[in-house]
């Protein structure tokens, strides 16, 4: 399956799951008297909109290079990730405000059945996290990693809600607010995950060269090409699901320009064949 199609199917999988979970959480929270579940539902609704943004970003980032974008449109993906982080921050702020309001308002102890629903939600969200994270690693996609962390943060908020509701039910009257404090604890985890999602995307926008393993792989492949005696500088920058490479290759100093040019083309073709995630490859020839 093409990389783009797999990425799109992964996002659609996340989006449909979040739509179903948002409905379940809202209904369970309303009828089960649990604001932690309602807060969870709010996050799931925001996750749906975030998934739509990721989907749009992936489709745009996968467009081929054109005259105005010779390196492709991959930078759209980290920009989309920034928007996803913004949604997470809005989610955390909304939950914080509503939880504080709810703490100040007397309310019923949550119903026991909400624990069973939360248990199922936690299990499903962790499974979703594992699926999406594996695909994000396979496709080298930061926006899919953000999508995966959405599932993990949702699982964490559900765990916090489970603990809070359990305390409220077990201790009874006077402990109703444990449910709401659990929602506040979840906000801390959401904020932390937001940073973990934001930092790699910022590095991609800033063209940080933090790809030591890929650099080593490129150098190893280069030495397999006839005529390449070694490598010097190797600069890598990520754009979407592709890595653009500038490599200085060393050849014998007495070769003609044409011979050096031919070696550069052989090297470029070999790199793109053996390392499919490479995008634009620029080879600079140096005398050995």
Query: Does the pTM exceed 0.85?
Result: no
Residues 89 and 173 in one domain: yes
- For residues 190 and 267, membership in a common domain is answered with no
Q: How confident is the model at residue 4 (pLDDT cuts 50, 70, 90)?
A: low
Q: Which of 145, 35, 25 is nearest to 85 (CA)?
A: 145
Q: How many other β-carbons are positioned within 10 Å of the β-carbon of residue 239? A: 22
- Same structural domain, 159 and 277: no
**What is the count of structural domains for the chain?**
2
Residue range(s) defining the domain that contains residue 229: 212-287
Q: Is the pLDDT of residue 1 over 60?
A: no
Output the average pLDDT for the chain: 82
| Residues 106 and 71 reside in one and the same domain | yes
What are 80's two structure tokens? Answer: 């989309």
Are 159 and 220 in a shared domain?
Answer: no
The pLDDT value recorded for residue 38 is: 76
Domain end, chosen from 205, 229, 252, is at 205
> What local confidence, expressed as pLDDT, does residue 98 receive?
77
- pLDDT tens across 153-187, in order? 778 777 877 888 788 788 877 777 777 787 787 78
The reported pLDDT for the residue numbered 169 is: 80
CATH number at residue 76: 1.20.1510.10
Q: What is the pLDDT of residues 201-252, one digit of tens each?
A: 888 888 887 788 889 999 999 999 999 998 999 998 888 778 899 999 999 9
Q: Are residues 241 and 150 in the same domain?
A: no
Indicate if 23 and 104 belong to the same structural domain.
Answer: yes
Pair type for strands 278-287 and 242-251 = parallel
Give ∠ CA 38-42-48 in degrees, rounded to 5. 140
- pLDDT exceeds 80 at position 39: no
Query: What integer is the mean pLDDT of 29-39?
Result: 75
- pLDDT of 222 reads 92
pLDDT tier, 106 (very low <50, low <70, confident <90, very high otherwise): low
87 and 164 belong to one structural domain: yes
| Same domain, yes or no: 225 and 186 | no
Residue 3's pLDDT is: 62
Write down the pLDDT at residue 68.
84
Query: ∠174-175-180 over CA atoms, to 5°?
Result: 125
276: left (phi over 0), alpha (psi -120 to 50) or beta: alpha
Assess whether pLDDT exceeds 60 at residue 90: yes
* Least confident residue range of 101-115, 210-224, 249-263: 101-115
- Check whether residue 113 and residue 225 sit in a common domain: no
């Amino acid at each position: 399956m093409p990389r783009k199609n797999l990425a799109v199917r992964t996002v659609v999988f996340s989006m449909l799951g979040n739509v179903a979970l948002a409905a379940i959480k809202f209904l369970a929270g309303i009828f089960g008297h649990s604001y932690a579940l309602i807060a969870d539902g709010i996050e799931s609704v925001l996750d749906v909109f975030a998934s739509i943004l990721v989907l749009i970003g992936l489709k745009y980032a996968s467009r081929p290079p054109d005259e105005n974008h010779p390196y492709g449109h991959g930078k759209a993906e980290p920009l989309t990730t920034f928007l996803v982080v913004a949604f997470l921050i809005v989610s955390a702020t909304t939950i914080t405000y509503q939880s504080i309001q709810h703490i100040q308002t007397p309310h019923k102890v949550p119903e026991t059945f909400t624990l069973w629903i939360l248990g199922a939600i936690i299990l499903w969200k962790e499974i979703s996290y594992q699926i999406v994270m594996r695909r994000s690693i396979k496709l080298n996609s930061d926006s899919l990693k953000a999508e995966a962390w959405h599932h993990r943060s949702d699982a964490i908020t559900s765990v916090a809600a489970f603990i809070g509701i359990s305390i409220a039910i077990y201790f009874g009257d006077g402990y109703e607010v444990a449910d709401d404090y659990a929602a506040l604890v979840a906000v801390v985890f959401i904020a932390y995950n937001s940073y973990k999602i934001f930092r790699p995307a910022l590095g991609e926008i800033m063209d940080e060269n933090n790809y030591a393993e890929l650099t080593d792989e490129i150098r190893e492949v280069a030495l397999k090409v006839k005529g390449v005696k070694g490598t010097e500088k190797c600069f890598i920058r990520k754009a979407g699901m592709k890595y653009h490479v500038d490599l200085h290759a060393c050849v014998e100093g007495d070769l003609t320009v044409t011979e050096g040019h031919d070696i550069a083309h052989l090297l470029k073709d070999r790199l793109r064949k053996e390392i499919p995630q490479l995008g634009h490859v620029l080879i600079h020839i140096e005398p050995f």
